[in-house]
Amino acid sequence: MDRSRCENCIVRQFNSLRALSKEELKKVSDSKTSKTIKKGQPLFEEGEKLNGVYCVRDGVSKLSKLSANGKDQIVKLASKGEVMGQRSVIAEEHSNLSAVAVSDMEVCFIPKDSITTSLQKNPNFTLEVLRHMAHDLKEADDVIVNMSQKTVKQRIAEAFLYLKNNFGEDGDGFLALTLSREDIANVVGTATESAIRIISEFKKKGLIHTSGKKIGIEDERKLRDLAEGF
Amino acid sequence: MDRSRCENCIVRQFNSLRALSKEELKKVSDSKTSKTIKKGQPLFEEGEKLNGVYCVRDGVSKLSKLSANGKDQIVKLASKGEVMGQRSVIAEEHSNLSAVAVSDMEVCFIPKDSITTSLQKNPNFTLEVLRHMAHDLKEADDVIVNMSQKTVKQRIAEAFLYLKNNFGEDGDGFLALTLSREDIANVVGTATESAIRIISEFKKKGLIHTSGKKIGIEDERKLRDLAEGF
DNA sequence: GTAATACTATGATAATTATCAGCTTTTACC
DNA sequence: GGTAAAAGCTGATAATTATCATAGTATTAC
């Protein structure tokens, strides 16, 4: 079985491409190109015109937006199965976000033509994309509320729980996705020093343990209570 | 001309319902009910199961989410032409937001059946809804960045500019949409007292003028500079 | 292997924002 | 039209968070 073909790609099960017909999928597969992206490399930049979407086969990318004060706000972390750049292609706008790999990645670039024609002809696919976007919008609403109503401490606690739930742990009990302290700060929207300070505090309190950049969750219950505001 | 019919409703031009066929529109119009909502009254509550969507003919509604600390975070203000509850109906989930009128409203309630059948059968409509949601998602991303990277002062300045751009001014140079100080605080995600203090400060500096609850923009340029961080 | 560079860490201090308390003004309602 | 309730306002203070400075530690490049 040729795993480089979309038809045989497991990742597809997780995203809206599964609603494509056999013929459509064949067309997509014929037009796509595979890319390997090293950790730290950009996939696309804010303001760039996207000629297609990126389907993540492996690895994780941060989607961020530069704010006026020069800091990057990470809006989302996209991993296996997620399609990046959909929003911009659908709205026919330049990208509002930058995408940079936070781990080595394997992605497929799908030119927008095959996407847009399917969007116009296959209601099932369009509806599937719509459902995904509805979900993303809900998540975005939740992020807005968390950002504006929770303290930095709560947001960091929540971020660790999020990382565990979405990316899991390695064999040694550390979070499988290792982010730099700066990236963690940019996820929760705070200064790097503040993030580091709170991480130290969590460590002292036995909520987490660390080894270099790696972070492991020690007391999930307490972390959750903290995130909820108790 | 019967203006109570969707076919003749101008508001429709602003939202995705314009992509419906004549027959679909007729069906929607036959099944919809018109409602008058007084300022302060709820349209629906967070967690409620929505059996349809609300199309705003007149007035403004706040869409908010209760946070753990008991404060309401206003995520969006919906006015003429906007469709509320779409996201929940599409995702087949309970609403993640509450909707409360911030001015007297006229809305049409459209049962979800006519929406979902059109979503399955009319790709143009689905695509139109998708485009709108893509736009909402971009706006949500922008809000996330503003919330996490800007100071309360900047966010309030921005909120006033937003109110002017989206709802305009009355004959006397006041913002057409009058929000309570508490609502303003809930839009920018701060304590009511902090919002009031900053409003007083803006007044002293000649950026705005007030009369009771009403707020008028005095120096748009300076307000914009402030919002941008200068 | 070592120098250069980026990342992590911590202290001191300043700025921002929240909270609590008390007061005045406005609004709503009988 | 009077009164209770709600909303608006201000001061004092505490808590949170950012900023600046500095130093240790890890990574990378040559």
Per-residue pLDDT tens digits for A124-172: 999 999 999 999 999 999 999 999 999 999 999 999 999 999 999 998 9
- The answer to whether the CB atoms of B142 and A96 lie below 8 A apart is yes
B143: closest CA among A52, A78, A157, A140? A140
What DSSP character marks residue A95? -
Contact B145 A87 (CB under 8 A): no
Amino acid at A99: A
pLDDT band at A70, cuts 50/70/90? confident
How far in angstroms lies nucleotide C18's C1' from the CA of residue B136? 31
Q: How far apart are CA A20 and CA A116, in angstroms?
A: 12
Q: Please tell me the predicted confidence (pLDDT) of residue A116.
A: 94
Cβ-defined contact of A149 to B228 (cutoff 8 Å): no
Check pLDDT > 90 for residue A17.
Answer: yes
- In chain B, residues with a C-beta closer than 8 Å to the C-beta of A112 are none
Task: Answer yes or no: are the C-beta atoms of A167 and A60 closer than 8 Å.
Answer: yes
Residue B71 DSSP code: P
Q: Answer yes or no: pTM beyond 0.85.
A: yes
**Across chain B, what does the average pLDDT equal?**
94
Report pLDDT for B74.
97
Nearest Cβ partner of A140 from B123, B127, B137? B137
User: Is the CB of B153 within 7 Å of strand C?
Assistant: yes
> Is pLDDT at A40 greater than 90 in this prediction?
yes
Q: Measured from the CB, is B212 under 7 Å from any atom of strand C? A: yes
Would you state the pLDDT for residue B13?
75
Closest Cα in chain B, distance from residue A134 (Å)? 5
- Percent of chain A scoring above 90 in pLDDT: 88
Nearest CB among B134, B138, B147 relative to A144 is that of B147
Up-side HSE of residue A55: CA atoms within 13 Å toward CB? 26
Q: What is the pLDDT of residues B81-94, one digit of tens each?
A: 999 999 999 999 99
Scanning every residue of chain B, which has its alpha carbon at the shortest distance from the alpha carbon of A188?
A: B148
Strand order in the sheet with A72-78: A42-44, A98-101, A61-66, A72-78
Q: Tens digits of per-residue pLDDT, A167-195?
A: 999 989 999 999 999 999 999 999 999 99
Helix (H) or strand (E) holding A65, with range, is strand A61-66
Mean pLDDT check: name the lowest of A214-228, B4-18, B33-47, B91-105: B4-18
Residue B180 has a CB neighbour count (10 Å cut-off) of: 13
3-state per-residue secondary structure call for A12-64: HHHCHHHHCCHHHHHHHHHHCEEEEECCCCEEECCCCCCCEEEEEEECCEEEE
**Cross-chain residue pair B127–A150, CB shorter than 8 Å:** no
Helix (H) or strand (E) holding A105: strand A105-111
Residues 6+ apart with CB under 8 A from B198: B152, B153, B156
- The stretch B174-187 carries a mean pLDDT of 97
Pure H helices in A46-151: 86-91, 112-121, 123-149
Query: Which chain C nucleotides are covered by protein, judged by CB under 7 A?
Result: 7-12, 16-21, 26-27
* A55-70 mean pLDDT: 93
What is chain A's mean pLDDT, rounded? 94
- Which of A74, A141, A187 to mutate to test binding with chain B, by most B CBs within 10 Å of its CB? A141
d(CA B176, CA B182): 17
Tokens of B128: 């139109």
From the CA of B172, how many Å to the C1' of C26?
Answer: 21
The pLDDT-based confidence of B142 (bands split at 50, 70, 90) is very high
